Structure 1
Amino acid sequence: MLRYFTLEYWLDDGWYVGKLKEVPGVFSQGQTLEELEDNLREAFQLMMAEEESLPFENVYSKEFAVAV
């Protein structure tokens, strides 16, 4: 299954640095844009694997409003 995210990236001292806009905490870098994309894919997959192994039995969610 493919999921699509927004990659926000910038150059910092010759490195491509980026994050997935919709997934807080998934950042990476690479010497090329392609390497950055590969590293972000790996970071996302590692985060998802870790989240699946969390020891919580009952996890709840709900929508809530924030004024902006």
Structure 2
Amino acid sequence: MGKKKYIFFYDNGMWSGYWEDFSDYMTQGVTLEELQTNLKDIYQDLTGGTIPCVRHVGEMEVA
């Protein structure tokens, strides 16, 4: 998998986060370690075809 960036924050006793490339799909954990485990799981679902109609972020150069 290599390294991927994720955004995370702590609020109301829970860690929440999402992959930078998949900002529509958030997950949570009671601990930061649990959040990281859940992020790995959802990444597998997002890239493995388990979740339909996944939105992607692209970048291209324009004139």
Q: Over aligned residue pairs, what C-alpha RMSD do you find?
A: 2.7
1:1-68 aligned at under 5 Å gives the runs: 2-50=1-49, 63=60, 65=62
Unaligned runs of 5+ in 1: 55-60
TM-score normalized with structure 2 length = 0.69
Q: Deviations over 1:15-56 (max 9, x none)?
A: 0001112333232100000000000100010011117x88xx
TM-score by length of 1: 0.65
Greater radius of gyration (CA): 1
Count of aligned pairs between the two proteins: 57
Identity of aligned residues (%): 23
By relative contact order (CA 8 Å, sep 6+), the higher-ranking structure is 2
**Ranges in structure 2 where 5+ consecutive residues have no aligned partner:** none
